[in-house]
């Protein structure tokens, strides 16, 4: 029997305390191992959190840890060249660029600035042959436009998909994989559920996006990689597949996309 992979989580120190992570990275990884999770991808969102993500890969235990470096659209005003330097340093556990992309829901950075930072990271993923992890919220038209201009890296993942089925189809047509988070369990997320039913099993990933978006019945509490099984089990029921089919396929897909050893 295969174990779960959490394709997207945040375990860095900045997420400790308050409404966010209630436990340290080491404790979260212990909980994950006990819940049948044997691989996590820790995601960077700026230079500091990206360096911390790489450092977390040095933790020992029963969970295999990989990392990405990236500049989130919220933080796109920061210097993207710091991410370029981190990526080019060639850490052995670096498997992706991102999360990067567009966020037109909050627009903490202007759209012009978001686009420039995103384009640079698409180019970086192509240059280094790394996976590209995309954050896209209420911006799929512009996402498809930048793909037309910059191209789509061979291994591209739309993380925490929250769009409509037609937008999921557009991502799939352009060669992207799609990752589903605990949002799929939320009462008001019927469009996400409709999209999740349409994703081919060999293009589907599961994630927690911890410490955010804990799935029902844990909603409102800090999320952890241990809860990725809740997302996977919900998807299995939603799609009419067995839990083992979803667990095996999503872990295999994440291994392929991030070019790490298959489970």
Per residue in 175-200, pLDDT (tens digit) is 999 999 999 999 999 999 999 999 99
pTM of the model: 0.96
pLDDT of 263 higher than 60: no
Let me know: does 6 contact 40? Beta carbons within 8 Å.
yes
| The pLDDT of residue 22 is above 90 | no
Residue 19 has pLDDT above 70, yes or no: no
Beta strands in the chain (DSSP E): 4-9, 37-42, 64-69, 94-103, 131-137, 156-158, 177-180, 204-206
For position 108, what pLDDT does the model report?
82
Residue 15: per-residue pLDDT = 74
pLDDT score of 21: 61
Does some domain include residue 94?
yes
**Residue for token pair 């556990």:** 93
**Cβ atoms within 10 A of the Cβ of 18, count?**
9
The per-residue pLDDT for range 89-131, each reduced to its tens digit, is: 999 999 999 999 999 988 788 999 999 999 999 999 999 999 9
CATH of the domain at 79: 3.20.20.140
Give the model's pLDDT for residue 1. Answer: 57
Counting the structural domains of the chain, the total is 1
Nearest-angstrom CA–CA distance, 134 and 170 = 14
Range of the domain at 55: 4-232+246-257
Question: What is the average pLDDT across 35-54?
Answer: 97
Q: 202-238, pLDDT tens digit by residue?
A: 999 999 999 999 999 999 888 999 999 999 999 999 9
- Residue 176 burial (10 A CB sphere; 0-12, 13-18, 19+): buried
pLDDT the model gives residue 105 = 80
The string of DSSP codes covering 195-249 is: HHHHS-GGGEEE---TTS-PPTTSTTS---GGGHHHHHHHHHHHHT--HHHHHHH
Q: Is residue 241 a part of any domain in this protein?
A: no
Whether 130 is covered by a domain: the verdict is yes
Q: What's residue 20's pLDDT?
A: 62
* pLDDT at residue 261, as a whole number: 81
197: how many CB neighbours lie within 10 A of its CB? 13
Evaluate whether residue 108 is within a structural domain: yes
Helix (H) or strand (E) holding 157: strand 156-158
Residue 93 belongs to a domain: yes
Q: How far is CA 225 from CA 6, 113, 230, in A?
A: 6, 32, 10
Distance CA 73, CA 130 (A): 19
Write the CA distances from 11 to 25, 67, 75, 221, integer angstroms.
5, 11, 18, 15
Q: Is the peptide bond preceding residue 211 cis, with omega within 30 degrees of 0?
A: yes
Q: Is residue 240 part of a domain?
A: no
CB of 10 closer than 8 Å to CB of 43: yes
User: Does residue 16 register a pLDDT over 80?
Assistant: no
Residue-wise pLDDT for 120-159, tens only, equals: 999 999 999 999 999 999 999 999 999 999 999 999 999 9
Mean pLDDT to the nearest integer, 153-177: 98
Phi, psi of 232 (to 5 degrees): -65, -40
| Cα 56 to Cα 53: distance, rounded to the nearest angstrom | 5
Q: What is the pLDDT of residue 73?
A: 96
In a domain, 110, yes or no: yes
Average pLDDT over residues 243-257: 98
Considering the domain boundaries, does residue 159 fall inside one? Answer: yes
């Amino acid at each position: 029997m295969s174990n779960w992979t959490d394709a997207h989580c945040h375990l860095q120190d900045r997420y400790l305390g308050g409404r966010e992570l209630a436990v340290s990275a080491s404790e979260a990884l212990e909980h994950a191992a006990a819940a049948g999770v044997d691989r996590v991808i820790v995601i960077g969102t700026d230079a500091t959190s990206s360096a911390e993500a790489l450092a977390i890969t040095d933790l020992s235990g029963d969970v295999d840890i990989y990392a990405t470096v990236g500049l989130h659209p919220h933080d796109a005003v920061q210097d993207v060249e710091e991410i370029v330097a981190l990526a080019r340093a060639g850490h052995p556990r670096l498997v992706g660029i991102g999360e990067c992309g567009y966020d037109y829901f909050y627009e903490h950075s202007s759209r012009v600035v978001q686009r420039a930072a995103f384009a640079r990271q698409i180019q970086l993923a192509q240059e280094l042959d790394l996976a590209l992890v995309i954050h896209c919220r209420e911006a799929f038209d512009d996402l498809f436009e930048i793909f037309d201009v910059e191209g789509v890296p061979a291994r591209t993942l739309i993380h925490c998909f929250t769009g409509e089925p037609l937008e999921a189809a557009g991502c799939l047509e352009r060669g992207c994989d799609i990752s589903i988070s605990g949002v799929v369990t939320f009462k008001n997320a019927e469009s996400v559920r409709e999209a999740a039913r349409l994703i081919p099993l060999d293009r589907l990933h599961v994630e927690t996006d911890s410490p955010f978006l804990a799935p029902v019945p844990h909603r409102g509490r800090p999320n952890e990689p241990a809860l990725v099984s809740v997302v996977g089990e919900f998807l299995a029921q939603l799609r009419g597949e067995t839990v083992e089919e979803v667990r095996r396929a999503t872990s295999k897909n994440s291994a392929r996309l991030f070019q790490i050893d298959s489970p």
